[in-house]
Structures are given as structure tokens and as C-alpha cells.
Amino acid sequence: MMGEHLSGSIEKAIGLDVGTTKIKCALVNISGEILYSLSCKTGIIRSPRTGWMEMDPNRILENVIKILGKVLLHLKEEETVIGLSTSAPILIIADGKGVPLRPAILYNDTRSLNEIEELNREFGESFFKINGNRVNVQQWVPKLLWLKRHEQNVFVKAKKFFDLSSYIIWHLTGKHVMDFTVAQDTGLLNYKKRMYSDEIIKYLGIDRECLPELYRTTDIVGNIEDKIIKVIFPKRKMKLFINAGCEDAMASTLSTGAYKPDRLTVVLGSTGIICFSTECPHPSKRIYLGLSPIANLYLALGGTAAAGLFLDFMRNTIFNKIDYSKIEKIAKSSQEGSNGVIILPYIIGERTPIFDPYARGVLFGLRKNTRKSDIARACFESIAYSIYHNLKVFQELGYDADTVYASGGMTKSALMLEILANMLGKKMLRYPKASETLSDAFIAFKSLGKVRNWNEIENWLDEPETLLPNIAKKRVYDQNFIKYVKIYQRLKNLFR
């Protein structure tokens, strides 16, 4: 722990979540009461070429500092800790001073498809044993190889590799660090030893000195430099400390139950995540293996490329940019199964369990009597099908539970939650208060030793909304799910 000068009297913490589309920040007290919260846009996602997804890291940093300043105006005390989570993995290469040499490459960028195929062919089995994952489009590993080959003039100047969390921490504290949850996602980590893999680093031919130093999520890694505090508060002295960061998916599942083994959680935001917490992981090439912020706890993860992003796409292209509530109202006038309309929501490829960046969106089953409401409902059902596809794999691997803990912006939709409950055939619990920022603030207090046990986050949550499945409706979805899978299988060769 680097925060040696903490007074121990801190009773309020900051939860800061930096996603790809939105930054959320909250001031939270030791009882879990959200005293003030704010959000803003992260920045602009650019796609200069097909499959490329990039952002300006400097603009993100500017927005982080601005929102911190606004939230800290509501803190009367002069000392606090920031619990940080970010979208990951995001690759930022920089010079020795931390100045980016090119835009940040996002986790859903597909420029390195050839490198992925090559790595899985020539190094795949060794990689899988080391990291517990197959080489995939999210990771740094294929992107670093791509940069080395296609932007060599930039790559040779690189002295530091950052993820979004480590980039923010570097510019706030001067410390080049990363927590284990993010490091696992980069593909560079030996998940059993909790250290960088010499074998993977050697294969890539990169300099280990470029990599951030590894810490636990709950380590306080530094204090915010005075020059940054002067930007936030020109006339006020403050002591601000920060933890080592956390992958946002891991943070979001923490406040929805994944603080102990055998919990099944679903998070639906811009993308979708299904997660099973376990002390005995069974790595599979059909899903992800993640690390929890909690020692000795692993997360089996399924990830969809587009959940809210897909609904955004359909809203903008089919539904004339009307409010989401109106789309939901239209969808409710259709029935389960959407009158035979089935959608593959693969507008930017798909992650687990098919790992197919070439996959494309499909609208199947249009007939003369198809209504707009059928298409609207099929949009919601398609997101649930993508989660159900992962659950089927989980069950084959022995990961299952009777109850699903749900969170994320899309689960605020009563229709979305109902469809999930009926399709998965499980009781759904949704804590309205659960969020990444709440988890981040809890992690900050855990870092301080203000809370001893991870299950104390239960005391921070309100009563959950409960929804029971309708088994008759599940039978309809099970029949359509068979078609959902077959549609992809029949078309996948045409996507390339």
C-alpha cells in the first residue's frame, strides 16, 4: 500500500466508473448512502476504418478530472479515497512521460483478426493454459502484435503500456500500476500465479518495463498530485487517494451478489454480461475466465458484444429515434416469441460463446402480418437469447444457480426483466441501488479497512425487486432459441 499518510478518519468515499460511453461518479458515506452523484459522456468513439474502435485518452482524462471536481464540491472534508473502475481491456501506448502516441484501442476493436487466428493456431494451447482464456478480440495481446507489424514507427517509441485505469492513475498520481482484474483481461497474466507471463511476453517480443506494476484491487496505490488538485480546487487543500482500479464488469457484479461463490449474475448495459462466481474454475474456450477483486474467487464470464448498443442501433435505424420507453410500450403489445420474428443482435460481431467477430445482425421471420410491435419485442428478446446462449454453456460446465441477480441500465426495463426471467427459467432479483459506483465506493472503504467482510455490501443495498418465471412462456422461448442458434449456424460461413 502506497497511501501511508491516510489519517484513518475517512467516512466518505468516491466511486468513479469510467465506461466507454459514460462516466459516473458518486459520493458515498460509510453506510452506503449515496450523498451525491453525477454522470457525463466519456468521449467520442471513432471508427476511422471498418472494425476499428478508438477514443482520445486525453479527452477522457479531461472529463474524469471535471466530474471529480464537481462531485468533490459536495465533500466538506479534506481527505477521501477514490475507488476506480473502468471499461477494460483498452490499450493505450505512450512515451516515457505517459503521452499517448496514438488513440486508445477499445476492447471491441477488430483490426487484429489475422493476429488472433495466428496466435490461436501457433500459440493457442500454451496461451490457454497460462491465461485460462483463448486469444480473443478484447485482449491487448493480438493488438500489440498488430501494432508491432502495422504501426512499427509508433510502436518502437512506446515506453509505457496503459489500460484506461492505469492511464488515469498515472496522470493523477504518477504511478504506473494496474490491478489483477484488468491485467487478466489484457491476456498477459498467468492467472494461477497472478503475475505477468514470461512466455507470452517473450512470444510478443515486448519490453516488460513497458508494463504497469501489478497490485490488488484493494491496494491504495497513491495520492493525487498537488498539481492536479490545484486544477480541481485552486483555493483548497485536499488529500485524495486512489485504489489500483478494477474492471467495471467485476465491480458491477460485486453489488449484485458475486461477493461469494456460486452466485449467478447478469449485467445489461451497453453490452451484456453473465457471470458465475466460483472458487473452482473450469477454464473453457467458449467463455471468459476473469478474476474477482476478492482473493481466491474467480468469475466465469459470458459477454455479448451489444445489448443496449443493439437497442440504440434499432432505435436510430428502425424506430425513428423515439424514446426507449415508447419502444418498450410498442413491444408490450406483441407476445412472447414475437410472432415468429427472431433477431441476431450481432451488429459488431459476437463475443461468447461463439467468438465470431465476423457475425452480423439478422432480422429473421418477417411475414405479411408482422407488426412493428413484433420487431420491437424481438429486439428485447434477442438480447435475452444472447445471454441464454451463454447460460447453456455455463450449465454444461457445471455453473448454475436457481436465482439470477440482475443489474445494469437495461434491467430497469420491466419488459426486459420479465423476458429474462421467463427465458432463463429462474427467479430474478434486481437491486435498484446496485451500480458500479456503489461497488467502487465499497472497494474504497474495504481498502481502508473500514469494512472487514465483502458480504457487508448487503447492508448497503435496498430490498430487491423479485420476479418469478412463467414456465409456459419459457417453453415458447426454448423452441425459438433452437431456431436462434440454427440461424447463426446456417449463416456463419456467409458472414465472412
When pLDDT is averaged across residues 334-339 and rounded to a whole number, the result is 98
Q: What is the pLDDT of residue 326?
A: 97
| CA nearest neighbour of 278 among 165, 130, 132 | 132
Handedness of CA 429, 433, 436, 439 (dihedral sign): negative
Share of the chain above pLDDT 90, in %: 90
Q: Is 22 exposed, middle or buried (0-12, 13-18, 19+ CB in 10 A)?
A: middle
Q: Give the integer Cα–Cα distance in Å for 253 and 263.
A: 10
| pLDDT of amino acid 352 | 97
Q: 130 Cβ partners below 8 Å, 6+ apart? A: 190, 191, 197, 199, 200
Q: Residues 14-33: what's their mean pLDDT?
A: 96
Q: Nearest to residue 132, comparing CAs of 235, 333, 285?
A: 285
The span from the CA of 244 to the CA of 212, in Å, is: 11
Helix (H, G, I), strand (E, B) or coil at 387: helix
Q: What is the pLDDT of residue 324?
A: 95
* Cβ burial, residue 213 (10 Å; 0-12/13-18/19+): exposed
pLDDT tens-place string over residues 97-114: 999 999 999 999 999 999
Half-sphere CA count of 75, side-chain side, radius 13 A:
30
Give the model confidence (pLDDT) of 99-154 as tens digits.
Answer: 999 999 999 999 999 999 999 999 999 999 999 999 999 999 999 999 999 999 99
CA dist., res. 179 & res. 239, Å (int): 22
Given this model, what pLDDT does residue 227 score? 87
Cell of 99: 503521452
Amino acid identity for residue 320 in this structure: N
Domains observed in the chain: 12-248 (3.30.420.40), 256-430+463-496 (3.30.420.40)
**Cβ–Cβ < 8 Å for 198, 205:** no
Q: What is the pLDDT of residue 402?
A: 96
Length of the chain (residues): 496
The pLDDT tens digits for 361-412 are 999 999 999 999 999 999 999 999 999 999 999 999 999 999 999 998 899 9
Q: For 196-238, how does the pLDDT look when each residue is reduced to its tens digit (9 = 90+)?
A: 999 999 999 999 999 999 999 999 999 999 888 888 877 778 8
Distances (CA, A) of 140 to 22, 127, 201, 248: 22, 13, 11, 17
pLDDT per residue as tens digits for the range 289-325 = 999 999 999 999 999 999 999 999 999 999 999 999 9
Q: What are phi and psi of 332, to 5 degrees?
A: -65, -20
Which H or E run contains 222? strand 220-223
Grid coordinates given for 460? 448497503
Q: Are 29 and 450 in contact (CB under 8 A)?
A: no
Nearest partner of 146 among 78, 184, 76, 91, judged by Cα: 91
| Residue 470 CA: distances (Å) to CA of 339, 419, 427 | 18, 10, 10
234-270 residues labelled b (16+ CB within 10 A) or e (exposed): eeeebbbbbbbbbbbbbbbbbbbbbbeeebbbbbbbb
Asked if residue 1 has pLDDT above 60, the reply is no
Instruction: Assign 8 a pLDDT band (cuts: 50, 70, 90).
Output: low
Q: What is the pLDDT of the chain when averaged over all its residues? A: 95
What is the Cα 27 distance to its own chain's centre? 22
pLDDT at 4: 52
Residue carrying C-alpha cell 491487448: 140
**Whole-number pLDDT of residue 2:** 53
In this predicted model, what pLDDT tens digit does every residue of 248-288 receive, in sequence order? 988 888 988 889 999 999 999 889 999 999 999 999 999 99
Beta bridge partners of 81: 13, 241
| pTM recorded for the entire structure | 0.94
Span 31-68, pLDDT tens digits: 999 999 999 999 999 999 999 999 999 999 999 999 99
pLDDT > 80? residue 81: yes
